[in-house]
Each structure stands twice: as C-alpha cells, then as structure tokens.
Amino acid sequence: MAKNLVIVESPAKAKTIKKYLGKDYEVLASYGHVRDLLPKEGAVDPANDFAMKYRVIDKNARHVDAIAKALKKADALYLATDPDREGEAISWHLYELLKKRKLLKDKQVGRVVFHEITKRAINEAIQHPRELSTDLINAQQARRALDYLVGFNLSPLLWKKIRRGLSAGRVQSPALRLIVERELEIEKFQSREYWTIEADVAAGKQNFPAKLTFYKGEKLSQFSITGDEQAKEVEQTLNQAAAGQLIVTKVEKKQRKRNPAAPFTTSTLQQEASRKLGFTAQRTMRTAQQLYEGVDIGGETVGLITYMRTDSVTLAQDALDDIRALIGERYGTDNLPDKPRVYKTKAKNAQEAHEAIRPTSAHHLPDTIKSHLTAEQHKLYDLIWKRTISCQMIHATINTVAVDMKAGDPGNLFRATGSTIVNPGFMAVYQEGKDDSKGGEDKERLLPPLKEGDEVKLLAIRPEQHFTEPPPRYSEASLVKALEEYGIGRPSTYASIISTLQNREYVEMDRKRFIPTDVGRVVNKFLTEHFTRYVDYNFTANLEDELDEVSRGEREWIPLMREFWTPFIELVKDKESSVSRKDVTQEQLDEACPQCGKPLAIRLGRRGRFIGCTAYPDCDYTRNLNGDSEPDEPEVVEGRNCPECDSPLIIRQGRYGKFI
C-alpha cells in the first residue's frame, strides 16, 4: 500500500499527478467541496461570532469515505487542492472531517501548492509542504458567510415584495445594476443627425478616400453639418471650387510603435475568448480547466497551461527563459527585445501571488499537439500560446502618413490617411481583439507617394448621413471587463455571476448582448432604492478589498462581519414593514384611466410589465406597455399565501365574478 496519500479536487488532476509521483503515492479526488453550510436559516449565527454549521455534501460523502479508508493505511497526507482561497477551504474542510474521525493521529500532514501540473512543479511542491493558511481559510469563510447572510435575508424579502423564486446576492445584484443602468441609458438616448463630406480621389492609377476637415477656413466638428440641405450646399460649393482636382498642401509622416498586450489573466482570457472564439465565460473556464488538469499527448499526460484562476500578469523566470528561447528559434533573435518585458496589472483588487495564464512549455506548439486535443481545447490553447509568446516579442513599427489637399480655396481641406506596417514584431503572432469595434484600425491602407504641390484628380464628393448611436449593450466580454474595472467579484466568480443572472431570468441574451427582463428591472429598482449601499459599486469593491486584507492576515474576519451585518439586518427589518408590494411592483404614471379617471400605473404581472388602473380590483382596465390589446394580468393578494403550496394568492375573474 502507498505510504503517502495526496488529495486533489478532480479525478483528471489525480490521474495526471499519479503518473508523476509513482507507486509510493496514492492520489485521490475530493470531487470539489466536501462540506457546505446547512441549506437553511441559522447556518451562520451572528449572535455567536458568526459560527457556521456545516454538513457533508451528499454527493461527495462516498469520496470522503474513500479518502478516510486510504488514509488509515498511509503515513503522510498531502492536501494538494487548488492554490487559492477555495482550494485552501477544501483542504481545511477535509482536514476537519478527518480529524473528527480521529484519523490524523501520528500522521504527517502537509498542504502543498503548485500553479502548473508538470512533473517538476509537483515534485517541488511535495518536497516543500506547508501548514494550512488560517488567513486564507478565514477569508473564504467570511466570503461564504457574507453571501449566505445576504442571500438568506434579501431573497425572502424579494419573494414577499415581488414574487417567489427570486434572489439577491452581494455580487450578482451590482452586476444586474450595471446591465439595467446601461439599458436605461440606451432608452434615454436621443439620436442626433450629422453629416460628413467624403471625397473619392485618384493619383496615377490608385484611388483612395479623403474626408473634409476644414470648410471655409473653419475646422469641422461632428455637428458642423446637420442636415441634407446644408450637406448638398457644401457639396456644390466644393465641386465648383475644386473644378475636378485637389492640390496637396501638406504631407505629414510619422512612425508609431505598438506594444503587445500582457499575458492572460482569468478576466482577459474570458474577454478575448468571447471576442475571438465566441466562447461564454463558463465554456472558457471549463476548457481551461481541462488544459490545466492534463491532456494525454503521445502516451504521456501533460498539464498544458498554468492555473487558470488568477489576476496576475507576472511570468516566472524559467517560463521567460523558455519563451525567449522559443522566439529566438522560431521567429529569429531580431524579434526579441534586449530584456524580458515586465507587466503590471491594472485590475482593482489584484493579487499577485500567482502567475499569469501561460503554456507550461512554450515548446508545446499548438499545431504539433492539435491531434491530441478537442476542437475547443485547441482553439483556447492556441489563443493562450499566441498571447504568451507575443507578450515577449518586440513592438510593431507602423508608418503613418496624413495628406492634406485643398479644394480651390486653402480654407477647404480634405485629409487622406494611410499606414504601412514596417515591422510587424509581435503582430506576426497575435493581435488583441476589441469590444464594439468596427475593426480595421491596424489594417494597412496604402496611399500613393505624394508631395506638396501635387495635383490629384477629384472623382466625386459624397455627403454621408450619420446618426449618433447609444452606448452598446454589454456583451459577455464587456461585462467581464466592467466587473473587473469596478472591482466587483473575483476572477473566479465572473462566470457564475453571469449564469446566475440568466438562470434567475433577470437578463436575456439578444445577439450576444444582455438585456434586462421586466423582473430584472423591478428587482434592480427595489434594491437600488431600498438597499442603495449594498448595490453600490464602490461598497462592493471595498468589501472585496477588505476580504483580501483578511486573506493576507491584515484584518480580522469577525469584526469585518459585524461591521457588515449590524446595519444590514436593521435595514432588512425596516423594509419588511415599511415597503409594500404595491410600492415595488407599481410605477405611477401621469395618465388617467379612460374607464374611471383614477391614475394609471406600470405594474408587474406574471408575463412582464403592463399598464393597469390603480383602482383595481374596482376597475379592471389594463393595456400592454405598447398600447396594444389588454393583457389578462391577475392581482396578487397582499400578505396572503396559498395554504397548500405557499405561493402568493391571486384574484381571478370567473363566470360569476372575481374570486381568490
């Protein structure tokens, strides 16, 4: 029997690590968390220093039994779960369960941490075990307790004031607020008309476009030309002044450098995989987990990337050496900067303990290992590999040229711009995607060689009509970016935040963009009006900061919990009695009911929002928000639930009148 027992989260990870450690080691999986809070009220006790009541997760009880059985025959236990707060908590919960069974006596117990699953990294970790980190465990417990207390107290309030089955969360609710506020911004947006004047120009055999920048000596702004008549007048004036040709008045040449993007963090990987591959955040994390835990390549199981939950952009020295060697071999030493590039994270609340997401070996080329990967795995690995290699290459050098041409009068100027990539540098390997971009920014546009005084042929002047556009709705990529910039949540939680909002039907996807549902709007309105502080972006980010301080041993977790809990529960109790369901689900309009003259209101029914009379049930006038046919929306009876199923009672219209 093996003398050493190693515990990891997943069977795939266990299989890979077992091959590296050999016959003296038994490697078993916990299959994720082994304990969680009791799923009922009272699992966290604020009156008793936030004592937490745990139970073994049913589906993982047999895995705990298997670990306990194996430990009886082992001399040493190595807790090798993930290198973050959640991983530390899994190890601690397992340790507590085994201690309770009195299985740790005379056993050597160590916590081992690694950021990549390679033979070198695993052996190094086993040789340097440490004790469990109380600070990381406390931070995870505080996070779990906060989420539990918010959910178990706010969610029932939403059931009473809006409808059953709803939930609120410390992190999900500020994320919902982002989406709703963007939608309100779009709805309030008033589009403005504006015109640009374009020209088609030819020099020799080459045609190129130009744009009017000065007219009658005045520099044009976005709204200098705002109508069809004005645009036609400008077109006519310019055609007469130019008489079929433009004269070059200035040629301005510049050279600019473009630097590569930093290696991937969890957030930037999710954003880029969304933009370039169309992956959801969940799909990205699932595939990255597979690449991290190990893939069979030619009879050997290899962890292909480093740990995928990180907000660090740091690369280890041996990784830098490996990457630079690969660049020299594959792309030539002229594509290597004199020294390695060093990146600093821009994210709020970043923790630099981990490395960036990178290949475990730069020499595992995407095309070489393609046959061993699924299509999903190859696409994501290719993205990670290219981003990592490019981040250590030289900058791209781009020549830009701007040519000013007058139409008769020197006060009428058209400008043509072009660019050529002199040396692609890192762009030969990788270019970063962009949110809401029409593209073309780094594409070459060649202009013919021109000098001051040259005459070019004016082929046509084209007035172009435009309208200002509202800000775009959030995509997965831009929402993850916003969450990171505001400091809402942690990199490991972004995917679950998004799926929770969708599962609760607070948001819908339309052409890969988030739109809040009517229920999402009402929930957000209730929380922003009555729990303003707790959906405030800065409050949420500051709380994340404080949890990070706990994980670093700079703050005690119980006083932090008290600071949060005391004002929070007082507010919950106040809103239970002071806010009625009608206050939340109705929004009074400045419009009288055509049937009875009482005010109309926007109300929330089972099929969404509609307009109804505030005198209901005495007056049953209703119509859809768009003014179409009347919906049949029942009224919920305030404060009364069904004795059979506990759902809210509603007033229905029967053949003999209204009934409950």
CATH number at residue 244: 2.70.20.10
Do 579 and 530 contact (CB within 8 A), yes or no? yes
Average pLDDT on 308-335 reads 95
CA 110, CA 6: separation in Å to the nearest integer? 10
Q: Which pTM value belongs to this model?
A: 0.84
| Res 655: pLDDT | 38
Q: Which pLDDT score, from 0 to 100, does residue 635 have?
A: 59
The CATH number of whichever domain residue 347 belongs to comes to 1.10.290.10
- Ranking 190-199, 340-349, 638-647 by mean pLDDT, the lowest is 638-647
| Active-site residue, 307 included | yes
Last residue of a domain, one of 447, 467, 487: 467
Same domain? 46 vs 155:
no
Same domain, 20 and 33: yes
Is residue 659 pLDDT above 90, yes or no? no
**The pairing of beta strand 455-467 with beta strand 409-423:** unpaired
- The answer to whether 313 touches 269, Cβ cutoff 8 Å, is no
Say which amino acid occupies 135.
D
DSSP 1: -
The answer, yes or no, to whether residue 441 has pLDDT greater than 60, is: no
Same domain, 574 and 587: no
Residues 203 and 245 in one domain: yes
Is there a single domain that holds both residue 323 and residue 360? yes
Do 357 and 370 lie in one domain? The reply is yes
pLDDT tens digits, one per residue of 535-545: 999 999 999 99
Based on the domain organization, do 243 and 124 belong to the same domain? no
Of 551, 579, 607, the position where a domain reaches its end is 579
Q: Give how many domains the chain has, as a whole number.
A: 5
Structure tokens at 214: 């000065």
Q: Which of 423-432, 468-477, 589-598, 604-613 has the lowest mean pLDDT?
A: 604-613
Residue finishing a domain among 390, 417, 441: 390
Q: Encoding tokens for residue 444? A: 């070459």
Q: What CATH number does residue 178 fall under?
A: 1.10.460.10
pLDDT at 660: 64
Q: Whole domain around residue 654: which residue ranges?
A: 583-659
Q: What is the pLDDT of residues 467-515, one digit of tens each?
A: 999 999 999 999 999 999 999 988 888 999 999 999 999 999 999 999 9
Express each pLDDT in 154-202 by its tens digit. 999 999 998 888 999 999 999 999 999 999 999 999 999 999 999 999 9
Q: Are 609 and 518 spatial neighbours (Cβ–Cβ below 8 Å)?
A: yes
We report the CATH number of the domain holding residue 101 as 3.40.50.140
Whether residues 441 and 480 share a domain: the answer is no
Which residues neighbour 508 within 8 Å (Cβ) at sequence distance 6 or greater? 502, 514, 515, 517
Q: What is the per-residue burial (b if ≥16 Cβ within 10 Å, else e) of 64-97?
A: beebeebbeebebbbbbbbbbbbbbbbbbbbbbb
High-pLDDT (> 70) share of the chain, %: 91
Q: Which burial class, exposed, middle or buried, applies to 437 when counting CB atoms under 10 A from its CB (0-12, 13-18, 19+)? A: exposed
272 shares its domain with 183: no
Nearest to 458 by CA among 250, 210, 136, 276: 210
Asked if residue 270 and residue 377 are part of one domain, the reply reads yes
Query: Within this chain, do residues 575 and 590 fall inside the same structural domain, yes or no?
Result: no
Are residue 97 and residue 67 in the same domain, yes or no? Answer: yes
Residue 558 has pLDDT above 50, yes or no: yes
Q: What percent of the chain has pLDDT over 90?
A: 77
Q: Is 263 exposed, middle or buried (0-12, 13-18, 19+ CB in 10 A)?
A: buried
- Per-residue pLDDT band at 300 (split at 50, 70, 90): confident
Write down the number of H helices and E strands in the chain: 17, 26
pLDDT digits (tens, 9 = 90+) for 107-136: 999 999 999 999 999 999 999 999 999 999
Query: What is the DSSP code string of 215-265?
Result: ETTEE--TTS--SHHHHHHHHHHHHHHHTTEEEEEEEEEEEEEEPPPPPB-
Catalytic: which of 148, 215, 307, 494? 307
Residue with tokens 């706010």: 154
